[in-house]
Amino acid sequence: MDTLLSLGVILLAGVLAAKFLRRIKFPAVTAYLLLGILLSPGIFNLVSEQILNASGLISNIVLGVIAFGLGQNFSKENFSKIGKSVVWISLLEASGAYICVTLASFLLLRQPLYLSLLFGAIASATAPAATVMIIREYKARGTFTNTLLGTVAVDDAWCLIIFAVSSTLAKALVSPSVENLFLSKIFLYSFLKVGGAFALGASIAVVFAYFSRFLRTEADLLICTLGFILLNTGIALWLHLPDLLANIFLGVVLINISKKNIRFFDILRRVDSPLYLCFFVLAGANLNITLLGKVGLISLSYFLFRIIGKLAGASLGGYLTKASGSVRKYLGWGLIPQAGVALGVALIAEAEFPQLGGIVFTTIATTTVIYELIGPFCTKFALSKAGEIERERTAGSV
């Protein structure tokens, strides 16, 4: 199919699919993913080969934008607003999913350690958009709701940090040049990569902040914001540094230099919708349907142990930070949805680990559809049990 015609089909069909499936309570991300599967070469073949080949480029751009935006959540003002308890809860629930899925994959399913590390890292991500959508739909408010919002706000950033470290470890484990190195040296190698990403992101942020003094129009602001994100991504890839982490650090340092730098994040929200749409549709189109039969047990294990890790981690975080009883018991249920960042890093894993990367992406794509179907109901259950859904709260006071 012609490349431009194919791109037009993706954009228009994506909008129609999201609007149609929204009527039966399907999240937009799920609609885009299912549409991509239908348009893939294995079914209707309505995506051109050129666009499929450009999926890596598009995912690098979109994930760079996503990672940069997540850096905004680590401003000093945001941390003072959401509180230290939310930071610890989010870190523990992300780590809980990481540990549970990694151990289940390695010890129970006997998967290679590097593959188990990748699965565990991806498991730490959630889907903030789905959670926010449910909160708005049911007009939930209260301490539990605020804690949930704060947790999902920084959760995906933790995921990218965990994934950056884990993928670097995984590369070291499969690299012939380091197979005789001690584990301590592999960890040192990994943290040097993370330190390099921080140095790069921070340096680009300082240059960007200085350069922004000369920007006068919104058009200039948008062009330069995208330009510096792409520059940061390109240099990170050239230096073999974790590019997602470099863009998180770019956002973190930039937002903490000055409150005025919030405008760089706001301007991106005006143009990111078509990028996200293309990204998710192409993620579905790249799904290798022939691998579905091979990932059944892996998908089931990933699905179950991620939920166990989220519930246990959130509960432990609630106890350690002396949070309310509702937070300890039910917050983990609000963290079940998983979508964008998980798919993005799964695409990276597929590209960087050709040996078994296809299994990683197929597993994550499959479970994402399930998570996005049941996740909103789990979030509603958590809000209802916490007594913070408006209609139930009003009824209870009558």
Supply the DSSP string of 108-137, one letter for each residue.
Answer: IS---HHHHHHHHHHHT---HHHHHHHHHH
Please report the pLDDT score of residue 398 as a whole number.
Answer: 41
Q: State which residues of the chain have pLDDT below 70.
A: 1, 25-27, 78-79, 81-82, 129-130, 132-133, 136-137, 153, 175-187, 189-190, 288-295, 390-398
Q: How many distinct structural domains can be found in the chain?
A: 1
Buried/exposed 171-198: b ≥16 CB within 10 Å, e otherwise: bbbbeeeeeeeeeeebeebbeebbebbb
Range of the domain at 349: 56-279+290-397
Please report the pLDDT score of residue 363 as a whole number.
Answer: 86
Residues 6+ apart with CB under 8 A from 88: 317, 320, 321
Residue 6 included in any domain = no
Residues 6+ apart with CB under 8 A from 20: 31
What is the helix, strand, coil percentage profile of the chain, to 5?
85, 0, 15
Residue 98 included in any domain = yes
Please report the pLDDT score of residue 275 as a whole number.
Answer: 83
Residue 34 included in any domain = no
Residue 14 included in any domain = no
Residue 249 included in any domain = yes
Residue 385 included in any domain = yes
Q: Say how far apart CA 392 and CA 383 lie, in whole Å.
A: 10
- Residue ranges of alpha helices (H) inside 23-142 are 28-39, 49-53, 55-71, 76-103, 113-123, 128-137
Whichever domain contains 390, its CATH number is 1.20.1530
User: First-to-last CA distance in the chain?
Assistant: 61
Query: Which residue do the tokens 């405008």 mark?
Result: 263
Q: Say how far apart CA 124 and CA 366 lie, in whole Å.
A: 16
Q: pTM of this prediction? A: 0.74
Please report the pLDDT score of residue 347 as a whole number.
Answer: 79
Please report the pLDDT score of residue 181 as a whole number.
Answer: 52
Please, is 308 exposed, middle or buried when counting C-beta atoms within 10 Å of its C-beta (0-12, 13-18, 19+)?
Answer: middle
Residue 318 included in any domain = yes
Residue 299 included in any domain = yes
